[in-house]
Amino acid sequence: MEINIQLHNEFNVRQEYIDNIIGFLDSGCTVPFIARYRKEHHGTLDDQTIRLISERLNYLRNLEKRKTEISNSITEQGKMTPELEAAIAAATVLVELEDIYRPFKQKRRTRASIAKEKGLEPLAEFILEQSPSADPYTEAEKYIDTEKGVESADEAIAGACDIIAELVSDDAELRKRFRRQFNARGSVNVSGSEEKDPEGTYRNYYEFSEPVSKVAGHRTLAIDRGEREEKLKVSVTLPEGDAEKILLGAYKKNGSKCAELVENACTDSWKRLIYPSVEREIRSELTEKASESAIKVFSSNLRQLLMQPPVKDCITLGVDPGFRTGCKLAVVDGTGKVLDTGVAYITTNEKRKVEEGKQRIRQLLDKYNVTVIAIGNGTASRESEQIVSEIIKDINRKTSYMVVSEAGASVYSASKLAAEEFPDYDVSLRSAVSIARRLQDPLAELVKIDPKSIGVGQYQHDMPKARLDEALGGVVEDCVNSVGVDLNTASQSLLTYISGINSGVAKNIVAYREENGVFTDRKQLMKVPKLGAKAFEQCAGFLRVPMGKNPLDNTSVHPESYKAASELMSICGFTPADIGSEKMNGIADAAGKIGIEAISEKIGVGVPTVRDILKELAKPGRDPRDELPPPLLRSGDVMELKDLKPGMELMGTIRNITDFGCFVDCGVHEDGLVHISQICNRFIKHPLEAVKVGDVVKVWVLDVDMKRKRISLTMKQANAPKSLD
């Protein structure tokens, strides 16, 4: 229960709600299910908050488990004391807990353990006592023992000092003080040179120093990578004298002949044991914080990318650009079904091949009445875009195009999943299909790809794999369930992310569908092998059955609330037959006149559930992505980097967001950077406070670096240079 109270304090959420959430999680409920269908029990918290509570719960439970293991170990050694017991109970983070346990761990043989084997521990205690009348050398002579390897008083004192050094190093409170001191006054120092870094990748860090407390996460990750590549040297230091002041203040007593020996032992402990260890801890803590921040940004970017508005019901031509092997083409209908494929050599220097390729594209556009073209943004993208733009100008039908990120398309096209989905197509044609589909429905297509391969993060390959997978998997799960899926068309990949459904059950759903035909009722899910009552409870509300027997099956109303939904309609003067008709648009007004609270009490469900049912009845099968601004489709001339001039106004789409700014696709192949200071007029700590992936924004060119192919942009018109045009 103490963990429950701690979560209540940390998240500032009512204790009752915290207890309920933990109860639901422990009973096997998923985060999307709790967030959507148990709102009355947690105060309508969103899925992201509930997921954070779940993650924190796991951390605190693991911490408690480790406390028990450490307590048992110390007790078995017969060394447990009330003070130790209190210190273990009070530890709030794992590193503090491990500091307490350090003196009791089974260690490999050290200089101190060897000295203890020689019987020098009492001498170490004598020296550390620092009695005013004590003579360490006279006392040390008592410990000379050639059989034990102590040949002289100096050797005895040296061994005793090794014991003192390790004892000082194992002082949990002292280590805690040092960590605080490093965080308050320490500096990260980095050095490098062109000799070790000829590409100049890390030139900003050749002579770099910054307080530990102020190092930005993206700089930490850059420094870490540079060090791994042996192009940078990194250290964390304290101001001169800080370490000595802390150590000697804790252990040295003036006025004794032993004091100098204690001082030397403390200095040795600092240089040989404490500093290397605490420096690693500080570096690790910086990296962990930077990684968590990067994972948070990656997760936010991924969420925004997955939730981009689909381009629905459009016949689409997907173009996977290439030079030597030509541009792979795939036409898909409004449901994503492949209608035709081909290759067009429109990026070569041979005019005949280019004309033939253009003709092939025109044929596909005319034959299938293509209205939108999706062009991958990889190699030869700009050249392909130029030709596509020319073709669009020449035809008499309204057709537009969009350059889409093809990150992960090659990973998907070479996967086992793609081979099963398109056994008759080669890898490159599968990529073209994927590019077309990710414009039509980004969510449905991108769930087939490992989130790490989608390319909307920073330093994603440097992140802890398990933590990154957990975070990104949670994002995909939340997105898929917030949109819902068509039970009769959803792929196995998409179904796997539905609440309560694992890969085995998803496979069984597809197999059942293929064997028995389309689902006509949600209840039929109970006939799917290995999909039991608990799984049905968790998944049913997120699976839609369009044109089914029960119109409520095409809404996110959960089957457990069907009776309540019918009673609600009856109270408001509607029938199930009205679902999907314009008449049902007035149900919210009708309910408002009666009173939501009154209806809630009458039908026996909470107010949040009543509100959700009303939304679904008014717009059955609604897609939350439809409420967002549509993506930016182009049909005009294609510009090159050399065409850009300071002050030029452009429209673009935000493709990626990092700690230091956002990258905008303005249709010139290279994405431009809007630094965080150029995003808006108010102060923001992070770009995510003002923008998100997929936003269509107006920008002005600040500078163009042709050599490095970099574009600097601003979203603040007042900062834009006056255009020479």
pLDDT in tens, 66-112: 999 999 999 999 999 999 999 999 999 999 999 999 999 887 889 99
Higher pLDDT, 31 or 324: 31
What 3-state DSSP class applies to 104?
Answer: helix
Q: What is the arithmetic mean of pLDDT over 668-695?
A: 90
* Crossing angle of the two packed helices 94-101 and 172-185, in degrees rounded to 10: 140
* Domain residue ranges of the chain, discontinuous segments joined by +: 2-104, 111-186+238-297, 316-463, 641-719
3-state secondary structure of 215: coil
- Using the predicted structure, report yes or no on whether residue 235 has a pLDDT greater than 80: yes
- Whether the pLDDT of residue 724 is over 60: the answer is no
> In a 3-state reduction of DSSP, which class is residue 647?
coil
Specify the CATH architecture of the domain 641-719.
Beta Barrel (2.40)
The chain-wide mean pLDDT, for the chain, equals 91
- Which pLDDT belongs to residue 669? 72
Pick from 440, 374, 451: nearest CA to 407: 451
Output the pTM of the full model. Answer: 0.82
For the sheet with 207-211, list strands across it: 207-211, 187-192, 232-237
Encoding tokens for residue 178?
A: 């040092």
At residue 639 the predicted structure's pLDDT band, cuts being 50, 70 and 90, is low
For residue 602, what pLDDT band results from cuts at 50, 70 and 90? very high
Reply yes or no on whether the pLDDT at 1 is more than 60: no
Name the more confident of 717 and 7: 7
Lowest mean pLDDT among 55-69, 165-179, 368-382: 368-382
Read out DSSP for 363-400? Answer: HHHHHHT--EEEEE-STTHHHHHHHHHHHHHHSSS--E
* Angle, vertex CA 432, rays to CA 429 and CA 433, nearest 5: 90
Surface-to-core class of residue 183, CB atoms within 10 Å of its CB (0-12 exposed, 13-18 middle, 19+ buried): middle
Determine contact, residues 315/339, Cβ cutoff 8 Å.
yes
Contact indicator for 530, 504 with CB cutoff of 8 Å: yes
Whether 641-719 and 2-104 are alike in CATH topology: the answer is: no
| Type of residue found at 711 | I
pLDDT above 90: residue 247 = yes
- Judge whether residue 60 has pLDDT over 70: yes
For 249-277, write each residue's pLDDT tens digit.
999 998 899 999 999 999 999 999 999 99
Q: Residue range 386-411: average pLDDT?
A: 85
Summarised one tens digit per residue, pLDDT across range 140-194 is 999 999 999 999 999 999 999 999 999 999 999 999 999 999 999 999 999 999 9
Candidates 136, 357, 378, 385; CA nearest to 262 is: 136
Domain topology for 316-463: Nucleotidyltransferase; domain 5 (3.30.420)
Q: For residue 461, is pLDDT > 80?
A: no
Question: Which has the higher per-residue pLDDT, 452 or 152?
Answer: 152
Contacts 24+ apart (CB under 8 A), 326-331: 326/357, 327/357, 327/380, 327/384, 328/428, 328/429, 328/431, 328/432, 329/360, 329/361, 329/364, 329/432, 330/429, 330/432, 330/433, 330/435, 330/436, 331/364, 331/368, 331/370, 331/436
Task: Report the sign of the C-alpha dihedral through residues 676, 680, 685, 687, in that order.
Answer: negative
How many helices (H) does the chain have, and how many strands (E)? 29, 15
The DSSP code sequence of 252-285 is --SSSTTHHHHHHHHHHIIIIIIHHHHHHHHHHH
Residue 516's pLDDT is 94
Local confidence band at 653 (pLDDT 50, 70, 90 cut-offs) = confident
- Fold observed for domain 111-186+238-297: Tex N-terminal region-like (1.10.3500)
CA angle 718, 721, 724 (to 5 degrees): 135
| Cβ 621 vs Cβ 554: under 8 Å | yes
Q: What is the pLDDT of residue 572?
A: 94
d(CA 518, CA 449): 26
pLDDT of residue 502: 95
Token pair for 577: 């037959």
CA pair distance 291, 448, nearest whole angstrom:
25
List all residues 6 or more positions away from 123 whose beta carbon is below 8 Å from its beta carbon: 139, 140, 142, 143, 156, 157, 159, 160
What is the average pLDDT across 514-530?
Answer: 95
CATH architecture of 2-104: Orthogonal Bundle (1.10)
Checking if the pLDDT of 699 tops 80, the result is yes
Q: What is the mean pLDDT of residues 131-136?
A: 92
Mapping DSSP to helix (H, G, I), strand (E, B) and coil, where does residue 107 land?
coil
In sequence order, the β-bridge partners of residue 234 are: 190
At CA 667, angle to CA 664 and CA 670, rounded to 5? 60
